[in-house]
Amino acid sequence: MERLPRALHPGAWWLWALGLATAASRTTNPIVLALVVAAAGYVVARRRTDAPWALAFRLYLLLGGLIVASRLLFRIVLGGGGGAGTHVLFTLPQIPLPEWAAGIRLFGPVAAEELLGGLYDGLRLAAMLVCLGAANALANPKRLLKLVPAALYEAGTAVIVALSVAPQLAESVLRVRRARRLRGGTGNGVRALRAILLPVLADALDRSLTLAAAMDSRGYARAGTTPRPVRLTTGALVVAGLLGVCVGVYGLLDATTPRPLGLPLLAAGGIAAAAGLVLGGHRVRRSRYRPDPWRLPETATALAGIGAGALLFATAAVDPANIYPSLSPLAWPQLGLLPALAVALAAVPAWLSPPPVTALAGSPPGDEPAEATA
């Protein structure tokens, strides 16, 4: 396997992260969720570069902690929705509500079942967010434009610009803090926040406008000379296909929906969406410069994330009590064999993927425009 420093294909990192996020969505076990976050953080620590987008991972960690804290706060303020539970930890003064707000409780008794339920839900959401933040820290957002189908090139441009907001904010914060230190700024607390916030927002806005102007000058998002009927047909096929895929996936996952409706709608929606993408791709001509290779490390990285998600799906079918700890009665969460294997598999890209290209070895490839649209 090639061990020379190079940038891994961004699609491989996103497939790995989506598989890991899927694994996190299938459990509320805090041990498994903590190990998933640890595996994602370990891979990021070993394989991220010194590029600006790699600095945003800590922001996702802070946002995940904020999600957990907010879920706990909501459980304390609004209660658990199903009574206080049997293990009351403390009691707050309850605020009476009118009759039309029946079922809603403000403050009152706070039980361990409520806090643990909020903690488990918050950890699951935070773990999913951290997994996506790992992909954003490892994959070059500019090179993701190469993976977008030609029919969705305009929408893909907007999505890539949106994904690069967090990395740009992280880089702006570092630049403003470095400039303040050079000028002798020593303020802390709210005063320092006020001094940093406005320059950061102004810098991020200026960089966004510069990026938009550069993309416009290179021909991004040009409508071309495609006839209006072709554009309408393409849009109708893509939208109808995506709706069919959503309904089909819902039919397969929801036990109350008739099973025969799920798979046919999913197949019909996929065919319609693919036809729309192929038809719309003929109206956009693109030239590729320095395409990203897909080799054995990319395949291993993608399969590691997908395999982790598949193992958690299998655990949900074989031993659901292991990945969904009981709250009534309370039970200690345990780590089973399949979840442990899933977490170990998720950390495999830390060794199988090639080392990152650092500033000493050369700037990471991909800072140039990914493609040009004719």
CA distances in angstroms from 313 to 50, 53, 172, 323, 350, listed in the order given: 35, 31, 40, 10, 23
Separation CA 180–CA 188 (nearest Å): 12
Give the per-residue pLDDT at 362. 38
Q: In angstroms, how far apart are the furthest CA atoms of the chain?
A: 69
Q: Where are the beta strands (DSSP E) in the chain?
A: 88-91, 109-111, 286-288, 371-373
Give the per-residue pLDDT at 306. 92
Alpha-carbon dihedral 45, 48, 54, 58, rounded to 10 degrees: -10
Tell me the pLDDT tens digit for each residue of 119-169: 999 999 999 999 998 998 888 776 776 666 666 666 666 666 666 666 666
Give the per-residue pLDDT at 26. 86
Give the per-residue pLDDT at 192. 63
The residue ranges of every structural domain in the chain are 10-224+290-373, 225-282
Helical packing angle, 30-47 and 10-25, nearest 10°: 170
List, for the chain, all residue ranges whose pLDDT scores fall below the cut of 50: 1-2, 359-374
Separation CA 303–CA 330 (nearest Å): 36
| Per-residue tokens: 68 | 């957990």
